[in-house]
């Protein structure tokens, strides 16, 4: 697997630092300010679970889009010192046929959302913003359920006009418009377990594409 890597675009330490900073920003946006340390309450990552201003007590419903965001969301929630719930949304990307909505479809069997999102602060989480179709479909679906707020968070955003045009609220990294894997992102469902975000050697991608067209 390591031999297939061309180069490391973002290493694990840079990811960890940025995910933590992003979690602080998300906490501030939902609470007003970071919860204070101390007090006789359960501790998470050295910070109190009780926000400074109890009236602004944050309660966030995170909705990761499967499968690519599972590692990102697992790291992110462990830096959110507030009440969080998780819903799951699975979306497949297709080239765009008459039977699919804007090239993407909801995979109902892998989708598990809370019965109601009414009045909830919802944060949609995806691994990468590319054409924006996946997040657009997900946001449309969740907006129909009348949440109090709906924000979007992506680990990566490709520097291409369609991705930039989608107004994501939180972006961990802007990257060049190239194919990357690792930290949850896949190629043919492999390489998700790589701890860094990397590019693959062209011959690996070409070989897989050739065997795909041969079958
Ligand atoms: P979009 O709908 O075009 O924005 O695509 C988003 C989905 O495509 C992501 O959730 C990924 O599953 C996949 N994707 C897009 N670019 C890459 C990439 O560079 N590596 C791995 N998966 C990608
Ligand atoms: Mg994928």
Q: How many domains, the chain?
A: 1
Output 34-40 pairs: Cβ under 8 A, ≥24 positions apart.
34/81, 35/81, 35/82
Predicted structure pTM score: 0.86
CA distance 178 to 142: 29
Q: Are strands 197-200 and 5-10 parallel, antiparallel or unpaired?
A: antiparallel
Q: What are phi and psi of 47, to 5 degrees?
A: -120, 155
pLDDT score for 208? 80
CATH number where 165 lies:
3.40.50.2020
Domain annotation covers residue 211: no
Domain annotation covers residue 208: no
Domain annotation covers residue 79: yes
Domain annotation covers residue 206: no
Residues with CB under 5 A from ligand 2 (ion): 68, 186
Q: Which domain holds residue 55?
A: 14-176
Ligand 2 centroid–CA 187 distance in Å is 7
185 alpha carbon, closest ligand: 1
Q: Is 191:4 a contact under the CB 8 Å cutoff?
A: yes
Residue nearest to atom 19 of ligand 1 (CA): 179
pLDDT score for 215? 59
Domain annotation covers residue 181: no
Residue nearest to atom 12 of ligand 1 (CA): 68
Domain annotation covers residue 73: yes
CA distance 27 to 33: 7
**Catalytic site residues?**
130
Ligand 1 pocket list (CB less than 6 A): 68, 93, 126-134, 179-181, 185-186
Domain annotation covers residue 60: yes
What is the mean pLDDT, run by run of 10 residues, along the chain of 215 residues? 96 98 94 56 45 60 96 97 94 58 78 91 97 94 94 97 95 97 96 98 88 70
């Amino acid at each position: 697997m390591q031999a297939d890597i061309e180069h490391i675009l973002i290493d694990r330490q840079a990811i960890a630092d940025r995910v933590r900073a992003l979690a602080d920003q998300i906490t501030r946006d939902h609470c007003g300010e970071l919860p204070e340390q101390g007090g006789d309450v359960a501790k998470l990552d050295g910070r109190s679970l009780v926000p400074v201003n109890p009236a602004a007590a944050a309660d966030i419903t995170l909705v990761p889009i499967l499968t690519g965001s599972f590692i990102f969301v697992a790291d992110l929630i462990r830096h959110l010192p507030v009440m969080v719930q998780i819903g799951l949304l699975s979306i497949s990307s297709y080239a765009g046929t008459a039977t699919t909505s804007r090239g993407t479809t909801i995979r109902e069997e892998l989708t598990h959302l809370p019965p109601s999102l009414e009045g909830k602060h919802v944060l949609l989480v995806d691994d990468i913003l590319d054409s924006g179709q996946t997040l657009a479909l997900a946001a449309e679906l969740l907006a129909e359920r009348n949440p109090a707020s709906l924000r979007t968070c992506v680990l990566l955003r490709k520097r291409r006009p369609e991705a930039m045009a989608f107004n994501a609220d939180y972006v961990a990294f802007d990257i060049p418009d190239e194919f990357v894997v690792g930290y949850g992102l896949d190629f043919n469902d492999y390489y998700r377990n790589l701890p860094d975000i990397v590019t693959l050697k062209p011959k690996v991608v070409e070989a897989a594409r050739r065997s795909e067209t041969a079958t």
